[in-house]
A and B are shown apart, each in its own frame.
Chain A
């Protein structure tokens, strides 16, 4: 399928010189409308038969100008926009941003609010990782069934978020210096039920998937990411740890109160698609440990320091870079304040975009079908890639 007409970008073929005229190279635009590209993402593939010879990702189809809008609207107004970055994980996006503002302005967070942040952050990590497994299996051809199971569990957690913040997905829940509102009555008990049933669900999920010979055949040895390349290319999150690099910001930066919780960091050995899948399932199990501990230990107290200025916040002139271990990787915000009510510079460090740096390296030599699986295993969300 020659797609020259759809291109409005530089053609990838312009730089490619076929070695001999016997070769049939095909230039295919995969996306931006494609069932397996996880959103409006385009890859310009150059194929020799079924084998990928070149791959250039094309971005910008969901560039919604978060940075400019935040610079125009102000610190507090930017919080609902952060929900819409990685639109599956709104709580952790909020957290990265409010953490950075707290660094910038020197705001402290009461203890109960820190526990709440850990609880909603780890619940987000849970459903992100199982939904990734569901989407990955869908990309492999298991059209819908694992995804249905994953979404069933996600709905239980979304019910908790809706009871807490009023919205399933775009929670807009965290604030500088704490949280917007406290748990409604009975929330902790309900959350405890969800967490205690999740382990059985993960067992059921894994029983269907982990030993599945199709998953193993399609995922083992596919898309191997060497550790040195991963570090140099700035890959973070489960994709980095699947390559054996022990770098989890919850352990390195110890932000919030993560230092109080006992949990391990699963590492992969081969850095292939199967390791990236397995690391996420194991991380979900570790998140359950954190959740049980946090739900048991959460103290009473305020959830927001009443002296914190939310609307009229004018941080002292200066800058701050803050980052958290979001489910997709290192989500960072870089804010420059000029003393006014709006950030002078609002920058989102998007893990999904930077994790895609190595997409071409992983896919060269593989078939088109593997490209879909490799892209699925990196775990991207276009709201974050394009911002």
Chain B
């Protein structure tokens, strides 16, 4: 708990640096900041297919996503923190998915819920199916299942909360909203005559070669 971060961007660093020599204050600020963020993640109301029904079930009384502060599903991307891509992303829908992500303000996260959002799932061989939303958007948590049970969605949400809690606010790995250099917008693919173009965003999608 005694990590000291050099932060040249913030004006109040002098006092912080003095206090942070104790190794306590800066991490407490981070913890408090992240605690507020992770316990009030507002998802975007964005169900594509069957996984959306389990997402709705997770927000209902039995599984109760409200315990995690995330029951406020926002219809507008401008007010949402989390996009749960629940369902198959088809080529026709892919440009809209990326546009919606671009409209979300920082900090924003993506959960790929279900096999279809991760890799195309059972519909992988379809001519209108995008094999995974991580070809176009940076995904923070992948939840496997077809569909994943509501408890699995809650576990994925908890994994995201741990990820947020572990985010350092200063330094190289800081989130995009504290780093002016990084852009949170990604290019939307275009629908062309035979296919979606490009079929994957090379900045995000780097398939690993399978070793024979």
A residues sitting closer than 8 Å to B (CB atoms) are: 6, 8, 32-35, 39-40, 60-65, 68-69, 72, 80-81, 84, 87-88, 147-148, 151-152, 154-155, 168-170, 382-383
B49 interface contact, C-beta 8 A:
yes
B47 / chain A contacts, CB cutoff of 8 Å: 39
Q: How many A-B residue pairs have CB under 8 A?
A: 92
Q: How far is the CA of A64 from the CA of B95 in the complex (A)?
A: 16
Main secondary structure of the interface of B (DSSP, over half): loop
B153 interface contact, C-beta 8 A:
no
Instruction: Report yes or no: B129 in contact with A64, Cβ–Cβ below 8 A.
Output: yes
In B75-96, the 8 Å CB interface with A consists of: 75, 87-88, 90, 92-93, 95-96
B52 / chain A contacts, CB cutoff of 8 Å: 39
B125 interface contact, C-beta 8 A:
yes
Instruction: Report yes or no: B54 in contact with A169, Cβ–Cβ below 8 A.
Output: yes
**Stretch from B1-9, B16-24, B56-64 that touches the partner:** B56-64
Q: Considering the complex, give the chain B residue whose CB is closest to the CB of A386.
A: B90
B57 / chain A contacts, CB cutoff of 8 Å: 151, 154-155
Q: How far is the CA of A39 from the CA of B88 in the complex (A)?
A: 12
Q: How far is the CA of A154 from the CA of B129 in the complex (A)?
A: 30
B146 / chain A contacts, CB cutoff of 8 Å: 170
- Number of contacting residues on B, CB 8 A? 35
In the A-B complex, list the 7 residue pairs whose CB atoms are closest, starting with the nearest. Answer: A65-B126, A87-B50, A151-B60, A35-B75, A61-B93, A64-B123, A63-B128
CB distance from A72 to the nearest CB of B (A): 7
Instruction: Report yes or no: A61 in contact with B53, Cβ–Cβ below 8 A.
Output: no
B92 / chain A contacts, CB cutoff of 8 Å: 60-61, 63
Instruction: Report yes or no: B128 in contact with A34, Cβ–Cβ below 8 A.
Output: no
B45 interface contact, C-beta 8 A:
yes
B122 interface contact, C-beta 8 A:
yes
Instruction: Report yes or no: A33 in contact with B129, Cβ–Cβ below 8 A.
Output: no
The contact of A62 among B46, B88, B191, by CB within 8 Å, is B88
Q: How far is the CA of A154 from the CA of B57 in the complex (A)?
A: 10
The contact of A383 among B45, B49, B61, B122, by CB within 8 Å, is B49
A65 / chain B contacts, CB cutoff of 8 Å: 123, 125-129
Q: How far is the CA of A249 from the CA of B138 in the complex (A)?
A: 48
Q: Could you give 9 example pairs across A and B, Cβ below 8 Å?
A: A6-B96, A33-B46, A33-B100, A35-B75, A61-B90, A64-B123, A80-B122, A155-B57, A383-B49
B147 interface contact, C-beta 8 A:
yes
Q: How far is the CA of A60 from the CA of B126 in the complex (A)?
A: 13
B48 interface contact, C-beta 8 A:
yes
The contact of A63 among B62, B87, B90, by CB within 8 Å, is B90
Q: How far is the CA of A60 from the CA of B90 in the complex (A)?
A: 9
Q: How far is the CA of A148 from the CA of B49 in the complex (A)?
A: 20
Q: How far is the CA of A87 from the CA of B50 in the complex (A)?
A: 6
Instruction: Report yes or no: A84 in contact with B126, Cβ–Cβ below 8 A.
Output: no
CB distance from B141 to the nearest CB of A (A): 21
Instruction: Report yes or no: A33 in contact with B96, Cβ–Cβ below 8 A.
Output: yes
The contact of B53 among A68, A69, A169, by CB within 8 Å, is A169
Q: How far is the CA of A170 from the CA of B146 in the complex (A)?
A: 8
CB distance from A250 to the nearest CB of B (A): 25
Other A-B pairs beyond A64-B123, A151-B61, A169-B50, 8, CB < 8 Å: A6-B99, A33-B46, A35-B75, A61-B96, A69-B123, A84-B122, A151-B60, A168-B149
Q: How far is the CA of A16 from the CA of B96 in the complex (A)?
A: 26
Instruction: Report yes or no: B90 in contact with A64, Cβ–Cβ below 8 A.
Output: yes
The contact of A68 among B46, B95, B126, by CB within 8 Å, is B126
CB distance from B150 to the nearest CB of A (A): 9
B75 / chain A contacts, CB cutoff of 8 Å: 34-35
Q: Considering the complex, give the chain A residue whose CB is closest to the CB of B128.
A: A63
In B145-161, the 8 Å CB interface with A consists of: 146-147, 149
Q: How far is the CA of A372 from the CA of B184 in the complex (A)?
A: 33
Instruction: Report yes or no: B125 in contact with A69, Cβ–Cβ below 8 A.
Output: yes
Instruction: Report yes or no: A62 in contact with B60, Cβ–Cβ below 8 A.
Output: no
